[in-house]
Amino acid sequence: MKFTQDPALLQQAGRIVVKVGSSLVTNEGRGLDEVAIGHWCEQLAALVKQGREVIMVSSGAVAEGMKRLGWSVRPKEIHELQAAAAVGQMGLVQMYETKLRESQIGSAQVLLTHADLADRERYLNARSTLLALLQLGVVPVINENDTVVNDEIKFGDNDTLGALVANLVEADVLIILTDQKGLFTADPRRDPAATFVHAARAGDPELERMAGGAGSGIGKGGMITKILAAKRAAGSGASTLIAWGREPDVLLRLAQGEPIGTWLLAQTPKNQARKRWMADHLQMRGSVTVDDGAVLKLLDEGKSLLPIGMLSVEGEFSRGDVIAIRAPSGQEIARGLANYASAEARLLCRKPSSEFERLLGYVAETEMVHRTNLVLTRAPEH
């Protein structure tokens, strides 16, 4: 595990997901830490003003609810956890809204469940909403929807949620702020010989062996959940940084390239990871055939596929399915994620975007396949 930190990795990151844990947000369960949340929000605002896109994944609703309800021990009954989350979420989102607004940055609350990201259409809807918020310069504040989850659908910890969000929006970097300086070869509280890990490969099995068990009694995670989250984030090409959340100006210093915390590095760049997944996708349920003009736009200009360039639609597929894109000869030239189901796509063939609402009653996207969700599979026949 002889990796070195790359200070430029975060300096160059355009889209960042920051996850902060319950123990930090609630000052070890004593209630929302207004000063700490204020400092993080000031840093998030500064990153946005630098031209970066930032998402905050924040724990703390259950812990804040426990404090408001006068509970000193985290309940085990799911309905009591849901009640605590419902009470605590009010204060949590209000705090972020207030502190971000003080820095002239808008915020938005987004609550997600595992089912939202397991269902392809809901996944795309969540993705579209988050990307729209980022384009508007708004900071989405995301938490698990603890008021409706049960044992079958809950994420289990917000480290996992942070990784899933990084995958969802194709983030460059996932930053996990925790109550530890980073990863050690063993628990430094028990082993004086433990050494600090500055950088390692995300997904390295040795990391899981080194990671400790559950952390505080307030949150549900520990270092092992952060190791597994980094492994998951690396699947879409995002590297993960684990750092102490109370390090002064930690986000700004990281963005300037200062070596803080532990880097768990993804080995595949995010664009390659996504395109490799689409190129290797075998369960395509349909395809669209496009005209010669669209072929040139896709292959020579790197453009998105617009419905006006589509000649026909084959097969039955849903929004979010991987479909083949074929030249008039029938040769596959690309693959991508469909923004419209097959029945809708048939109505949109040869139609400009100005006609979408009249034909469908709504407009999801102006493209059939956006260029970021498209991979070329081969050159056309000449």
The tokens for 55 are: 């998402």
**What letter represents residue 368's amino acid?**
M
Residues paired with residue 224 on neighbouring β-strands, in sequence order: none
- Domain with 237, as residue range(s), is 8-270
The number of domains in the chain is: 2
The CATH number of residue 103's host domain is 3.40.1160.10
What does the alpha-carbon distance between residue 138 and residue 53 come to, in Å, rounded to a whole number?
A: 8
Reduced to 3 states, what is the DSSP secondary structure of residue 284?
Answer: coil
144 vs 59: CA distance, rounded Å: 8
Q: What is the CATH number of the domain that holds 332?
A: 2.30.130.10
pTM: predicted TM-score of the whole model, two decimal places: 0.81
One domain for residues 301 and 217: no
Sign of the C-alpha dihedral, residues 19, 159, 234, 164?
negative
Residues 228 and 146 both lie in one domain: yes
Assess whether 295 and 347 both reside in one domain: yes
Find out whether 3 and 263 touch, Cβ atoms under 8 Å: yes
Q: What is the pLDDT along the chain (382 residues), one digit of tens a residue?
A: 455 555 567 778 899 999 998 889 988 767 899 999 999 999 999 999 999 999 999 988 888 899 899 998 888 888 898 898 899 999 999 999 999 999 999 999 999 987 788 777 788 889 989 999 999 999 999 988 877 766 544 665 689 899 999 989 989 999 999 988 998 888 777 888 889 999 999 988 888 877 754 444 334 457 888 999 999 899 888 999 999 999 999 999 999 989 899 999 998 777 677 677 667 655 788 999 999 999 999 999 999 999 999 999 999 999 988 999 999 999 999 999 899 999 999 999 999 999 999 999 999 899 999 988 888 987 655 4
